[in-house]
Structure 1
C-alpha cells in the first residue's frame, strides 16, 4: 500500500515534467515561441562524480515546475546539444574546412602575386584617372627599381670625389633624376616587348599594356616622352659621358629579349643596371680609371645576379609554362649556392675598388655590414614563397645605402 502511494505521488510530479518537455520541444521546432531563461540556479544544482571526474547538473523541482533553463542545462550536462541547428552547422563547417585544405596548396603559391597585382596603391587613390595607366607603366608606386639603378651611380660619383671632400651634389641630383627616368623607360620597353607574355603570368597580367588599359601606340608615345626628358639630363654632362651614356641604350632596348634566348637574363640586366658605375666616374673626371671603375662595375653585376635571381623565383612556375628562361630556373634547388658565390664576388670586387681608390679604413667597416645584410638575404630567403622573395629583393635598397655610406665616410677620411 505504501509502495502504491509513493508511485502515485511520483506520477503527480512527473506529469508537469512531461508537459514542460513537450512545450520545450515545440519551442525548438518553432523558434518564434521563446521563453526568457530564469536566473542562474544555485550551486546545489550540480553533482560531481569524483570517480569519473565529471560534473552533472541536477534540475531542481520547485513546486513541480521544471524550468526551461533546467531542461537546457540537463541536456548540456548529458553531452546533448541544445541547438536545433548544431548538426547542420557542424557538417557545413567540416565541408568548409575540407575545401580550405584542398585549396591551400594552390592558393598559397599565387596569393602573393595576385595580391600584389590587385592591390590598390597611391596612384589609384590620388592621381587623375587618365594618368594612372602611365604611372603604373613607369612603376611609380614601386621605387625599388629606381634605387637599384641609382646606387651604382652614387657609388661612382662619391668614389670620384677628391680625398676629404663631399661628392658633387649637383651630379648626385642629376643622376638620381636620370635613374628615375631611365628606370621608367626600361619598364615601358619591357612591357611593350613582353605584352604577349605578361598576359600569361599571374603577377604581370594586370600591367597597363597587357591588360589593354593602354595601347602599344600610347606606350611608345610615353616612351618617347621619357627618353626626351632623359636626353635633357644627358646633355648636361661632358662629351665623354654623353657618348658613354647614349651607348647604354643598346643594353636597355635589348634586355627584354634575353629571357627568350638565354638562362642568364639576370646577368644581362646586371650589365644594363650598373652602367652608372662607369658613367658617374666619367661625369666627374672626364674619363675612366679601369682599376677603380671596372671592379665597381663588376660588383654591381654580381649584386644584380643575387637580387634578381631571388626576384625571378616569384615567376618560375609561370615561366615554365610560358617558355621563358631565368637563372631561377637554371639554378633550381642550387640557387643558394650560386647566389652565395655571386655575393662573395660582389663584396670582393667592392673591396678591390675601394682599395684602388685609396678609401679610408671606415669603408671596410661599412663593407662588413653590407656583407652581413647580403648574407642575411641569401641564407634566410624562402625561394618557394613569392612574398618572401619580394621582401628580400626590396631589402637591397639598404645594401646599396650601406655601401654608399661606406664610400662616403671612407672618402672623407682618406
Structure 2
C-alpha cells in the first residue's frame, strides 16, 4: 500500500524539529523526507535560474517586471521536480546511502518506505511537474522535456566520473533556459550564457556541499569534485565563481540590462568571495552553512534584475 509506512525518525542531516516531523501525520513523513520538504534550499537552488531567466527576459522585452504567472509556475514546478529528483536519486542510490553515515537514515535504506512506494511517489510528483510544464508555449514544453535527460543520468555519474557536480549543474541550471523561452518562445545567447554560468555556480556550491561526505565517499568509491580538488578547492572555487560572474555579466549585457542588474551581479560576486574566504573544507557543519548561503546569492541577483527591469520599464 502507498500510505503504509514506518516512521523510524528524522533523517540524520535533516532540519531538526521541522514541520515535517511535528505537524505532518506519521504516514506522510517518510514521503516528505524523500522529497526533502524540510530542506527548501534544494528547490530554491533549482528555482533561482528560472527566476533569473524570467527577470532577464523582462529586461530584454521591456516589461517592468517578470511575468507573475510564470514565477508561480516555476515555483510549483521547482518544488515538485526537486522532490521527484530527490526521490529518484534515493531509489538509485539505495546501496550507497546505506553505507554513508549522513544518508543511511534516509527513508529507503532505513526501511521507512519500500522501493515500490517510492516509485509511485516519484510518478505523482512528476505528474505535478508535467501539469505545470503544459501551461507554457510549445517551445518551452519541448525544452522542459529535454531537461529529463540530465536529470536521469545525474545519479549515476558519481560512479563513473570525478565531475558528478557538472551533471548536477546541467540539470539544476536548466531553468536559465526556461524562463527566457517562456517569454520569447525561443532562445538566444543571453539565456545560454546564463545557463553556462549557472553550471559553474552549481559545481562550486555542490563542491562545498560534497566536502561533508568526502571520507565516506572515498571509502565506498563515490567520486566528487570535493575529492578531485582536495586541498586546491579554494583555487577551484575562485575559477568557478569568477567564470559564473563573468558569464552572468555577459548575459546581462546581451539582454541590454542596466546598472541595477550589474550592481546585483557585483554584490553577488562579493557574497561568493565571502564563501571562499571563510570556507574550511574540514568542517562539515560550516560547509553546509556556506552551501545554504547560496539561497541568499540567488536573491541578490534576482533583486538586481527585477529592479533593473522596473527602472527600465518606467
How much does 1:117 deviate?
A: 5.2
- Specify which of 355, 361, 371 is matched with residue 253 of structure 2: 355
Provide closer, same or farther for how the CA distance between residues 272 and 243 of structure 1 changes in structure 2, counting only shifts above 3 A: same
* Residue correspondence of structure 1 range 150-299 to structure 2 within 5 A: 150-161=47-58, 162-163=61-62, 165-289=64-188, 291-299=189-197
* Residue correspondence of structure 1 range 81-96 to structure 2 within 5 A: none
TM-score, normalised via structure 1 length: 0.71
Provide Cα deviations, 1:272-322, integer angstroms capped at 9, x if missing partner.
Answer: 001011011111111111x21111001100100110000000000000111
Provide closer, same or farther for how the CA distance between residues 140 and 248 of structure 1 changes in structure 2, counting only shifts above 3 A: same
Query: Hey, which bits of structure 1, 4+ residues long, moved more than 6 A?
Result: none
* 1:311 paired residue number: 209
* 1:135 paired residue number: 32
Provide closer, same or farther for how the CA distance between residues 165 and 363 of structure 1 changes in structure 2, counting only shifts above 3 A: same
Provide Cα deviations, 1:335-394, integer angstroms capped at 9, x if missing partner.
Answer: 000011001001000110001101111211221111110000011111001000000000
How much does 1:134 deviate?
A: 0.2
* Residue correspondence of structure 1 range 362-373 to structure 2 within 5 A: 362-373=260-271
Long gaps (5+) in structure 2: 1-10
Q: Distance in 1 between matches of 2:192 and 2:150?
A: 17
Q: Secondary structure at the match of 1:208?
A: coil
TM-score, normalised via structure 2 length: 0.93
Q: Secondary structure at the match of 1:233?
A: helix
Provide Cα deviations, 1:236-290, integer angstroms capped at 9, x if missing partner.
Answer: 111111111011111111100000000000011001001011011111111111x
- Specify which of 359, 379, 392 is matched with residue 277 of structure 2: 379
* 2:44 paired residue number: 147
How much does 1:164 deviate?
A: 5.1
Q: Secondary structure at the match of 1:131?
A: helix
The number of aligned residues is 300
